[in-house]
Amino acid sequence: MCLFLVLVFSSGCVCVCVCVRVILMFLRCFSCYKFLSLPSCLPLGARPVVYLQHALFSDNTSWLENFANGSLGFLLADAGYDVWMGNSRGNTWSRRHKTLSVNEEKFWAFSFHEMAKYDLPGIIDFIVNKTGQQKLYFVGYSLGTTIGFVAFATMPELAQRIKMNFALGPVVSFKYPTGIFTRFFQLPSSAIKKLFGTKGFFLEESIGKSPSIKICNNKILWVICREFMSLWAGSNKKNMNMSRMDVYMSHAPTGSSIQNILHLKQLYHSDEFRAYDWGSEAENRRHYNQSHPPLYDLTAMKVPTAIWAGGNDILITPRDVARILPQIRNLRYFKLLPDWNHFDFIWGLDAAKRVYSKIIDLMKSYP
């Protein structure tokens, strides 16, 4: 348990302006047991650094939403790590730009491709400069893993800064999901744009959060919330603390861009892991200097990698994960958790015992 957690806004909540002028906000978390000579009391500059990247429609609080003994952010901090937790561009906390307004379509012209190619390198550069540590650990969950895989497969210099890549419910192959969200991908892209526009998607000011919070926290109606979660990510009802649902739902959904959703839709309808298709050869040439979107070659990634998958995950299925394993040339660890769904990686009651403890053990093995 964390006895003394420091979340100091002067050094703990940082705005970073990356090269595309998007302003990203993230948290720095560290802890110390006062008066005890434990690893968590090391000076910040001496602590190994971990960067955590959240999922789609989420934010960095997902790493802190359970109690201290069940949240990866707290556990890493108490184990002596200097923990940084990012917010993807377009979510509630990273929706600012030096020159563009959120009301402009150009602001929302991004997907996980831009997050990987521009945002993540900018964040890692900032962390390296701030801490003096030349290398760090990367932990991604769901779409957070996608950002890591794209970045480390396409930018060898950035990959050299990563001690180990930890992927929870990795989104690379997206051919076999059966969750309710995939029905959305059956719609033509033109219909999606007509229904939801061409800017943000699932923005909290548009959909509101209070109804879902009230339903999920109601002693009678909470079962509706639980069943909806099962339709989205798979069933593992006994592994979620339903009394925490108001906490979970107060931070989700946080929004993203329509283009990000359409990029995922392209993965769903393709056998290949590619950059976003801008819809014409001319536009693709403008962005990539070639007529078709470039492939992300996972075999080029040399970062030591550990992967966890849920056997009951209907969003990122074991079948999809099995497709990418042969492409990970430096796979050091893989674990299939037969009963887990997609949400168990952050909200599971047994996540600390079955996954987080192993992450910390592997970090100690790859200092």
Of 119, 174, 143, 133, give the one whose Cα is nearest residue 57.
Answer: 143
Are 261 and 171 contacting, i.e. CB atoms less than 8 angstroms apart? no
Q: Give me the domain span that covers residue 43.
A: 14-365
pLDDT grade for 4, boundaries at 50, 70 and 90: very low
pLDDT at res. 2: 32
Q: Give the residue-averaged pLDDT of 339-355.
A: 97
SS3 label, residue 278: coil
For the chain, the domain total comes to: 1
Higher pLDDT, 140 or 212: 140
Identify whether 100 is part of a domain.
yes
Predicted structure pTM score: 0.88
Cα 233 to Cα 141: distance, rounded to the nearest angstrom: 13
Residues contacting 17, CB < 8 A, separation 6+: 23, 24, 98, 122
pLDDT at res. 222: 65
Catalytic residue among 88, 173, 342, 344: 342
Of 181, 213, 225, 230, give the one whose Cα is nearest residue 339.
Answer: 230
What does the DSSP assignment read for 303-360? S-EEEEEETT-SSS-HHHHHHHGGG-TTEEEEEEETT--STHHHHBTTHIIIIIHHHH
Catalytic residue among 142, 173, 230, 257: 142
Q: Give the residue-averaged pLDDT of 283-312.
A: 98
What does the DSSP assignment read for 131-161? H--S-EEEEEETHHHHHHHHHHHH-HHHHTT
pLDDT at res. 209: 52
Are 53 and 89 contacting, i.e. CB atoms less than 8 angstroms apart? no
pLDDT at res. 102: 82
pLDDT at res. 219: 62
Higher pLDDT, 15 or 6: 15
Identify whether 59 is part of a domain.
yes
pLDDT grade for 269, boundaries at 50, 70 and 90: very high
Residues contacting 233, CB < 8 A, separation 6+: 179, 313, 314, 315, 341, 342, 343
Higher pLDDT, 135 or 20: 135
Please say if 342 is a catalytic residue. yes
pLDDT at res. 27: 75
pLDDT at res. 205: 55
Catalytic residue among 78, 313, 320, 344: 313
**Average of per-residue pLDDT values in the chain:** 85
Identify whether 167 is part of a domain.
yes
pLDDT grade for 190, boundaries at 50, 70 and 90: very high
Cα 29 to Cα 5: distance, rounded to the nearest angstrom: 8
Identify whether 4 is part of a domain.
no
Please say if 313 is a catalytic residue. yes
The mean-pLDDT minimum among 86-100, 113-127, 251-265, 344-358 falls in 86-100
Identify whether 7 is part of a domain.
no
pLDDT at res. 212: 59
Question: Residue 217 belongs to a domain with what CATH number?
Answer: 3.40.50.1820
SS3 label, residue 166: strand
